[in-house]
Chains A and B, each alone.
Chain A
Amino acid sequence: MATFNQSDLPRLLRMYRRMVKIRVFEDNANELYLSAKMPGLTHMYSGQEAVAVGLCESLKSSDHITSTHRGHGHCIAKGAQLKPMFCELLGKAEGYCRGKGGSMHIADQDNGNLGANAIVGGSAGIATGAAFSAKFRGSDQVTVCFFGDGALGQGLLYEVMNMAALWSLPVIYACENNHYGEYTHVSEMAAGDLKARAEAFGIEAHTVDGQDVMAVCQLGESLVARTRKGGGPFFILLDTYRYHGHHVGDVNRAYYRSKDEEKHWKNERDPIIKLAEHMISNKWTTQTQLDAVASEIKAEAKAAVDYAISAPYPSGDEVGMHVYAAMQN
């Protein structure tokens, strides 16, 4: 298991902070939905924080990720700011996409986030293409492709994994197995051994506890390093869980998922609590210090939400802008 020691504390605290930031962001997003301040729906990442944070910890900001409909966590883990994220959720002009994308399409070019995606599996091609391009351009950038267990149903994934393997592309396929695609259990959607799908292409595949940010980080660190040196592609199956419904409106879900199961994951396997316990039991930090981190983040999030609520909408003229890229010459 994880061999982090006291000298790693700054790193652990950074990951702790990021995980809390994601959790707090989602709590606020849920509140915005419940109070009818957010247009449309959103899919919350709560419970899966260790996956995005653990893997992004070893990426540089020039490295790429592609994300999913459940994308806020990836976005924050890759370095995005809360203000433009909340602005985007509310369709405001200062949002990451000037309000054009919304929750399911946040992209953050400055931090290498090529975007969330509302098509399940839709980013597998993009991630593989980003990896192809890195190699083509002679860059050592690495791409991490985040997708859910549901995306294992998409044929595109197998076409691009095949090419990634044939051409040794610097991409890591990170399958976040939260055990459900919408209202259906993964066992009813995916036959056989999930990891074996990648192994069939000769891609080295790993399984890791997606609730243990140290384990995710450690595996990520070694695979990112190997990928950067041309050793890719890789496949990681991360065992995790989403705490909320498929989207904010999915409240009565006992018909597909038991309350006991939810309780088990929340109480026994919470990634934030797990890391806190590890750091506290080793006396590297105290609960008081961690509470201070959480309060600081809550205050930051509240300020960002307040800002976003009063921020202006884009002007109507923007509707026709950005359909085509502006030619630069």
Chain B
Amino acid sequence: MKQITWSHAVNEAIAEEMRRDDMVFLLGEDVAEAGTPFKVLSGLVEEFGVKRVVDTPISEAGFVGLAVGAAMTGARPIVDLMFGDFIFLTLDQIANQAAKQCYMSGGKLKVPMVVRTNMGATRRSAAQHSQSLHTLVAHIPGLKVALPSTPYEAKGLLKTAIRDDNPVVVFEDKLSYQMKGEVPEEEYTIPFGSANILRPGNDISLIAASSMVQVCETAAAQLEALGISAEVIDIRTVVPLDEDTLVASVKKTGRAIIVDEGHQSYGITSEIAARLGEKAFYYLDAPLTRMGAMDVPVPFSPVLEDLTVPTADGVTAKAVDLVSGAAR
């Protein structure tokens, strides 16, 4: 295993897939020479040239639509959407066009494209550059949605996304680009729909995605010190969702907190809680509990922004309440 940054892992995933398949190309704002404002894509244009690493105008709806058409006719675009917030500008192309082609054509058409974008607050970027909008696309049948939590997952899930014959939206936490982690030397992919149990436990399940996985790991360590055994599960993909692993965990622990950085109301935490309620109700010892981002636009001021996202201390406190029965 080697230790590399998230940026490096993403860069490797794209380079490997572009070497493997000539039809894969990259499209977005400042992806070529600049390598994106986050410098994640540096070096790709040098290897693959401007034919396959294409700088676009600031025309999100246009270039996502173009990618849909390219994908329907044999190419395999990876669209770089600089901030997850800009997904709103592209939703007609993603939701009305990309997501529905396969179904509307009775399976005759397919749209093998990836939209690679980001999520996550606490970067002091205010309300239009800080949202976590994965729920929006997860709601639309026909789209797959991945939320890696480590460099290893960023690479493995992105490679799977590129090889998938469906439109896939990958959300990366924008504070993770410099995060280092172990990544195998050899080629690998991570299948969609397989959650990862990071830490087994018996008293409560902490279910999360993206950077909230680290929040739950920290909380689990705090809980261990308090004599509470927490199971931490990284769902990895929201669609498809590995329901079996989650249900089995909750049947074992009898309690769950689902943690996510999207707004809490109508978010993925609600969906997961509902499914667990349907499938594991008779095993529950405490109410299924959601912890999402506060239902407010993300404020700029650090003192306010930090209040809006779930924290390890918050998860720990909630878990203690649930396990001790104080929540009753």
A binds B: yes
Please give the residue numbers on chain A whose beta carbons come within 8 Å of chain B beta carbons, in ascending order.
39-41, 88, 91-92, 95, 97-105, 117-122, 150-155, 181-184, 188-190, 255-256, 313-314, 316, 318-320, 323
Check B300–A101 contact: CB distance below 8 A: yes
Check A188–B300 contact: CB distance below 8 A: no
B299 interface residue per 8 A CB criterion: yes
Nearest CB to that of B29 among chain A residues? A182
Nearest CB to that of B63 among chain A residues? A153
- Say whether, besides A184-B55, A189-B58, A319-B294, A119 and B302 are in contact (CB < 8 Å): no
Query: In the complex, A181→B58 CA distance in Å?
Result: 8
Query: In the complex, A130→B139 CA distance in Å?
Result: 34
Nearest-Cβ distance from residue B244 to partner chain A, whole angstroms? 37
Residues of A within 8 A of B56 (CB): 153
Check A182–B128 contact: CB distance below 8 A: no
B61 interface residue per 8 A CB criterion: yes
Query: In the complex, A100→B296 CA distance in Å?
Result: 11
B198 interface residue per 8 A CB criterion: no
Residues of A within 8 A of B299 (CB): 99-100, 319
Query: In the complex, A118→B61 CA distance in Å?
Result: 17
15 new A-B pairs (CB below 8 Å) besides A153-B59, A155-B61, A189-B57? Answer: A40-B300, A88-B300, A99-B303, A100-B299, A102-B124, A102-B126, A102-B300, A105-B300, A153-B58, A181-B58, A182-B29, A182-B37, A255-B34, A256-B33, A319-B299
Please give the residue numbers on chain B whose beta carbons come within 8 Å of chain A beta carbons, in ascending order.
29-30, 33-34, 37, 55-59, 61-62, 85-86, 89, 123-129, 294-297, 299-304, 307-308
Nearest-Cβ distance from residue A153 to partner chain B, whole angstroms? 3
Q: Give me 9 A-to-B residue pairs in the complex whose CB atoms sit less than 8 angstroms apart, sorted by A's number.
A: A91-B300, A100-B300, A119-B86, A151-B58, A153-B57, A181-B58, A183-B34, A184-B29, A314-B304
Closest A-B pairs by Cβ, 3 of them: A102-B300, A91-B301, A40-B124
Residues of B within 8 A of A102 (CB): 124, 126, 300-301
Partner of A92, one of B29, B61, B301: B301
Query: In the complex, A88→B126 CA distance in Å?
Result: 12
- Say whether, besides A39-B124, A119-B89, A314 and B34 are in contact (CB < 8 Å): no
Partner of B30, one of A88, A105, A184: A184
Nearest-Cβ distance from residue B239 to partner chain A, whole angstroms? 27
Residues of B within 8 A of A182 (CB): 29-30, 34, 37
Determine chain B's interface SS by DSSP, over half rule.
loop
Query: In the complex, A152→B299 CA distance in Å?
Result: 29
Partner of B296, one of A92, A98, A155, A319: A319
Number of A-B residue pairs at CB separation under 8 A: 121
Query: In the complex, A100→B57 CA distance in Å?
Result: 30
Query: In the complex, A91→B308 CA distance in Å?
Result: 15
Check A188–B301 contact: CB distance below 8 A: no
Query: In the complex, A160→B54 CA distance in Å?
Result: 28
Check B300–A323 contact: CB distance below 8 A: no
Residues of B within 8 A of A98 (CB): 301
Residues of B within 8 A of A320 (CB): 294, 296
Query: In the complex, A313→B124 CA distance in Å?
Result: 14
Residues of B within 8 A of A39 (CB): 124, 300-302
Query: In the complex, A316→B303 CA distance in Å?
Result: 7
Check A150–B129 contact: CB distance below 8 A: no
Nearest CB to that of B127 among chain A residues? A105
Residues of B within 8 A of A99 (CB): 299-301, 303-304
Partner of B308, one of A153, A255, A319: A319
Residues of A within 8 A of B58 (CB): 120-121, 150-151, 153-154, 181, 189
Query: In the complex, A91→B306 CA distance in Å?
Result: 12
Nearest-Cβ distance from residue A225 to partner chain B, whole angstroms? 33
Nearest CB to that of B32 among chain A residues? A184
Nearest-Cβ distance from residue B237 to partner chain A, whole angstroms? 28
Nearest CB to that of A247 among chain B residues? B37
